[in-house]
Amino acid sequence: MEQIYDNYTTEDQEVWGILFGRQFQNIKKVATKEFVDGIDKIHFTEKAIPNFVETNKHLKELTGWQVAAVPGIVDDDKFFELLSNRIFPATTWLRTREQLDYLEEPDMFHDVFGHIPLLANQPFVDFLQGLAKIGLKHLDNEWAIHLLSRIYWFTIEFGLIREEGDLRIYGAGIISSPGETKFSISDEPEHFDYNVEAIIDSSYRKDKFQTKYFIIDDYEQLYSSLPHIEKVIEDRLQREPVNIP
């Protein structure tokens, strides 16, 4: 499908402006520098909903990636296929004024504001593409896909990074959430150094803040961990799988 930009209403544009304006203020001092820089590189502003045609021009020059419009959450096979071809699927619908603070299903504010700026970072997108290629190898094994989803969850969605001695946010699930932005770097949850085995052995919940977060040193660390991720998943597959939560 395509993003039909002219279909966005005045209210849609206003909602985007509200969401962007308030969350950018929340994260600009606590988000990874690469995210804040990415906002500028792909020309996102609170003045208008991003036009995928224009965004793709910038991304192509920066990392060779593209954004593709999808109606909602896509199946694993399509998701991994798109990512392996350097295409990030993003919804085009936006929440209403009455839904400013919470949605059960990700809308374009999460998909676009939360994810797209970091697509301007080469090691990060190389990691994303690598995860997808691992996923494509294991599409017929539900347990393997679930284990891989834990890596995706605790990095792409809810990852933290250490920059200049301080905790910073890079996960899109945190970046698009005012509440979890503050919570994730507070003293309330547990914080652990990035560890593939620990992440793969960690379950997660989608309906509440995380109880723990994993911290990377840089995005090259993510990319260089891909062979180890694949090895650990293969090792876990040799064991008796437990019930998927």
Does residue 108 form part of some domain?
A: yes
pLDDT at 172: 96
The CATH number of residue 89's host domain is 1.10.800.10
Give per-residue pLDDT as tens, 58-77: 999 999 999 999 988 889 99
The Cα–Cα gap between 16 and 23 comes to 11
The Cα–Cα gap between 162 and 115 comes to 19
Which residues does 200 contact at the CB level (< 8 Å), separation at least 6?
A: 147, 150, 151, 229, 232, 233, 236
pLDDT at 213: 98
Quick one: average pLDDT of 119-127? 98
Q: Are 80 and 136 in contact, with CB atoms under 8 Å apart?
A: yes
For the chain, strand residue ranges (E) read 66-70, 87-91, 160-163, 166-169, 190-193, 212-216
pLDDT at 205: 86
Quick one: average pLDDT of 9-35? 95
pLDDT at 244: 56
Q: Does the structure show a pLDDT above 80 at 31?
A: yes
Quick one: average pLDDT of 36-45? 97
The Cα–Cα gap between 124 and 220 comes to 7
Query: 138: annotated binding-site residue?
Result: no
Range of the domain at 96: 5-237
Query: 115: annotated binding-site residue?
Result: yes
Does residue 243 form part of some domain?
A: no
Quick one: average pLDDT of 118-134? 98
Does residue 86 form part of some domain?
A: yes
Per the structure, the count of domains in the chain is: 1
Give per-residue pLDDT as tens, 230-244: 999 999 998 855 555
Query: 43: annotated binding-site residue?
Result: no
Does residue 218 form part of some domain?
A: yes
Among 49-63, 67-81, 145-159, the range scoring the smallest mean pLDDT is 67-81
Does residue 244 form part of some domain?
A: no
pLDDT at 20: 95
